[in-house]
A and B are shown apart, each in its own frame.
Chain A
Amino acid sequence: MAFKPKRKGGTESLSFVEEGVRRFKTLLLDSKRKRTQAFSFGCIAVVVVMIYLLKSLVMQKTMSDLQLPPTHGHYTDEIVSLQPLIFPPIEHAPRLKQLNLRKLHTLRIDVDGNKKYVLKESDKSTTSKKRKEITDEFEIVKRDYLDHGKRVFSKGSDSPEVVVVTLVDFDQHDTDTLIRVVQNRVDYAQRHRYGVYVRWAQEFIPTIDNQDMAESYEFLKPLMMRAAMHAFPKAKYFWFLDQHALIMRMDLSLQTQLLDRKIMNLAVLKNVPVVKGSNIKTYNHLVSERAEVIIPQTNDGKLDTNSFIVKAGLYGKAFMDYLGDPLVRDYSWPSLSASVGHALQWHPNFLAKSALVVPKTIASVYDPTKPATEKASIDVFHYMQGDFVALFDGCQERKSCASDLALFYSQVQK
């Protein structure tokens, strides 16, 4: 008796399964029920898509858990500038000089009595509302000084292709001279739709160990270039032009002057010693448009670091990072150009992406002992009327920087 119901149940369940299979077949395979089939397949497709979408949502959540820190400059906070012309308020120079680094930055004294200025990375930018509330003029100057390092060009706008980079020193020059220097860059950049990136040299002093401005000014250049690359993430070329230099020809764009492939090929120095007397020579097979570092070499075989161009690529960035590495930077180099020369001689990968060019292109040096008129063509190295750039290299020794800049600023051909 106990056997019977079990058997019965068995047959019932079998028929149930059979029934299910039959129904399933009619639902999916019967040619007479095309509508239902379309509907059921559609349902399945929708469910699959839903699962897929939900899955990707969940996946994204796990990805956001591993979020990496965003790229930032020396300050973690940033101020977006809609204008591609980023320069500090020059009229603050006398007050900044009065404030001095002592009041602008924090001085830290360690147990051995070493004094060092430090940068507060987490310093927050001042909102315009807050700025209005500040009544003390010096406080405003200080806030502007600290906020200037946070300014970056807005990512959404059209990026300029070339950015002119200059590092100015408010201790060394008066406001008039500084205005000439910065106005010259701004005029030029506006004409060719380039960007301008000018910073106070003092802003970088707290980031390095040797905090003597006279000794360290040159070695701030690679740091400045890196800051410019960060401020203009989409720009291609960064042209560093020293504060003791003026762009004399406003009509010449950097492309027509140097960056154009044909002109580059003419200007590049191939198979010449990297620095005077070196047995390392620049490559004969250099493809000039792939060069990421463009440095003029003077007549006496010196690399001119007063005016050079760096492309924002792997090599350009790495080269600047290398020069700015404290181990390299703080070595007892006689000059920045010596450390650049070292890098090019010891690291063939850098040399392969570096172009040494004739100085006439972007680095004609003004020599007061030689006439600068076009007729008396002195040599291919010194400044003559009609040259693109005039460098006042050596003006500090002559103590004529301000007068040279004033004289030449009036001569700039607009």
Chain B
Amino acid sequence: MSYSMPYDAAYKDEKKRQFDYRRRSPVDRVGAAIARNKKTVLLVFCTLFMVFWFGSSRLTLFSRAPKIVLILAVNDGGGVHKWKGEQEWAIERISIQNKRAYAKKHGYGLTIKDMRTAKRYSHEYREGWQKIEVLRQTMREFPDAEWFWWLDPETLIMEPQLSLEKHLFKRMDTLSYRVLEDFNPLQLPPDIPYVDYSNEPELYITQDCGGFNLGSFLIKNSEWSKLLLDVWWDPVCYEQKHMMWEHREQDALEALYAREPWIREKTAFLPLRSINAFPPGACSEFSDDARYFYSEDERDFVVNMAGCSFGRDCWAEMQRYGSLIEEHNHKWWRRLH
């Protein structure tokens, strides 16, 4: 081995030829440019990688607290009373995936809450308290959020391209109703003293054939809501009614709505089909009433397979509506493979 190579004119020429700008192919040119600016390229690559991997919203520069947060309750019961089967896991997975994609698409927050049966809720005073505690905890978690949208696990967002602003908030005035004159399945008193309807509603719920339905509802992040969540569960009321209140927090809210004007004045109702449409199996006694059931032609926003675990086939329903979403949102490029 020698320290210096003998001078080779031919080699030198070859190198010169390679570096000759005009003769090189475009790929070579790009390669050369990269070779010259290694550090810059590395930086750009790292940035792109970060953006791709973590999502642009996670970077501090772009991140802002979401104004609307979806709360998805999963693991209801938590496999305490029976084994959780394969289909239950699959249902949960589909449901979570559905909301995650929706929240990501529209820049909403999503929080998934475990609703497993906990011992502290098993006392008769505390049964059904869990939903309220989860809501309160979420309000602490997202102090800057304006609205929370609660969703039960067996729901599917059927029209993921629709934003909540477009679908609901922009037309709340015409869509929602506040007086139970036309639709009052519980026969609650339609008018009680001291209700001041000049307040903007801060709780939007739906009514099904059996009364209030809390499978999918919207609650504002406000002082009023926090007070409502505090008063909602009261041991004295529950002690008197726990034999009758089959649907726990739903019945408790109905009782509060019926008697306390401060709650009634900020509660409004959305048509069931706007955020909480039923499959034909639920409310089956009213199967000819179109107000309750999901309509494929009218492309209802959300379907809630409420009560599917009571004698119905959750998995079949989930599959059916899942394939409907696929069908409705079929993109042309999907056909390529």
Does B52 belong to the interface (CB within 8 Å)?
Answer: no
On whether the beta carbons of B193 and A73 are closer than 8 Å, the reply is yes
Interface check A317, CB cutoff 8 A: yes
Task: Flag A47-75 by CB within 8 Å of B: 1 or 0 each.
Answer: 00000000000000001001011011110
Judge whether A346 and B191 touch: CB under 8 Å: no
| Known contacts A69-B179, A325-B259, A327-B241; A348 and B230 CB within 8 A of each other | yes
Q: Which of these, B174, B227, B241, contacts A318 with CB under 8 Å?
A: B227
Main SS at interface, chain B: helix
Per-residue B-contact encoding for A299-319, CB less than 8 Å = 1, 0 else: 000000000000000110110
Residue of B nearest to A63 (CB): B173
Q: Which residues of chain B come closer than 8 Å to A349, judged between CB atoms?
A: 226-227, 230-231
B residues 197-224 near A (Cβ < 8 Å) are 197-198, 223-224
Question: Interface on chain A toward B: helix, strand, loop, or mixed SS?
Answer: helix
CA distance A71 to B194 in the complex (A): 5
**B193 CB contacts on chain A under 8 angstroms:** 72-74, 226, 230
Chain B, 6-43, CB within 8 A of any chain A CB: none
Q: Are A321 and B178 in contact (CB under 8 A)?
A: no
Contact B231 A322 (CB under 8 A): yes
**Shortest beta-carbon distance from B268 to chain A in Å:** 10
Select the residue from A230, A318, A348 with max chain B CB neighbours within 10 A: A318
A66 contacts across to B, CB distance below 8 A? 173-174
- The residue that A328 contacts in the complex, of B174, B196, B236, with Cβ under 8 A, is B236
Say yes or no for A394: interface residue by CB 8 A criterion: no
- Residues from chain B with a CB closer than 8 A to the CB of A63 are 173
Q: Quick check: is A326 within 8 A (CB to CB) of the other chain?
A: yes
> Complex formed: what's the CA distance from A331 to B234 in Å?
12
Per the bound structure, the CA–CA distance linking A277 and B320 in Å amounts to 59
Query: Given A314-B227, A331-B240: A325 and B260 within 8 A (CB)?
Result: yes
Does B143 sit within 8 A of A, measured CB to CB? no
- Asked if A261 CB lies within 8 Å of chain B CBs, one says no
| Residue in B173, B174, B256, B259 whose Cβ sees the most chain A Cβ within 10 Å | B259
Asked whether any CB of chain A lies closer than 8 Å to the CB of B255, the reply is yes
Say whether B223 contacts A314, CB under 8 Å.
Answer: yes
Min Cβ gap B202→A in Å is 11
Which residues of B sit under 8 angstroms from A328, Cβ to Cβ? 234, 236-237
Residues of B within 8 A of A322 (CB): 231, 260
Chain A residue contacts of B191, Cβ below 8 A = 69
Query: What B residues does A25 contact at CB under 8 A?
Result: none
**Is A342 on the interface with B (CB-CB < 8 A)?**
yes
Interface residues of B (CB under 8 A from A): 173-174, 178-179, 191, 193-198, 223-224, 226-227, 230-231, 234-237, 240-241, 255-256, 259-263
Write the residues of chain A forming the contact surface with B, with a CB cutoff of 8 angstroms.
63, 66, 68-69, 71-74, 226, 229-230, 314-315, 317-318, 321-322, 325-328, 331, 342, 346-350
Can you offer 28 A-B residue contacts whose CB atoms are under 8 A? A66-B173, A68-B178, A68-B179, A69-B191, A69-B195, A69-B197, A71-B197, A72-B194, A73-B193, A73-B194, A226-B193, A226-B194, A314-B224, A314-B262, A315-B227, A318-B260, A318-B262, A321-B260, A321-B262, A325-B255, A325-B260, A326-B259, A327-B236, A327-B237, A327-B241, A331-B240, A347-B231, A350-B227
User: Given known contacts A318-B227, A328-B236, A349-B227, what 16 new A-B pairs fall within 8 Å (CB)?
Assistant: A66-B173, A71-B196, A72-B193, A73-B193, A229-B194, A315-B227, A318-B260, A318-B262, A321-B194, A321-B263, A325-B237, A325-B259, A328-B237, A331-B236, A346-B235, A348-B230
